[in-house]
Copies of this chain bind each other. A is one copy, B any other.
């Protein structure tokens, strides 16, 4: 068992439950559609708003039919696998998808 496989199993496990995959895909799409990519930083009002999905937890609670505690748990799993990074500002959580891991997924089968 190589290190690579160890990490990949962890990543795949994080994406292996439907609700968690849905959560991840939401984060992924929100980030994409908000035009908050690194090369559009200057078109945003503040730099902070440009680093990922603002109010990710709140948004997820609003559109997924799961309790807050369950969403909290799933978000932690995604973080744990390295798929997303979350930061807190006050009460509010923002998330950023880890592009490095996205590339790992895309390329692990050559």
What is the interface of chain A, defined by CB distance below 8 A to chain B?
1, 5-6, 8-9, 12-13, 15-18, 21-22, 25, 28, 102, 105-107, 109
Contact = CB atoms under 8 A, between A and B. Distances in A.
B21 A5 contact: yes
B15 A1 contact: no
Contact of A105 (B1, B5, B105): B105
Please state the number of chain copies in the assembly.
2
Given A1-B18, A9-B21, A28 B109 contact: yes
Given A102-B109, A105-B109, A5 B17 contact: no
B106 A109 contact: yes
A12 B11 CA distance: 9
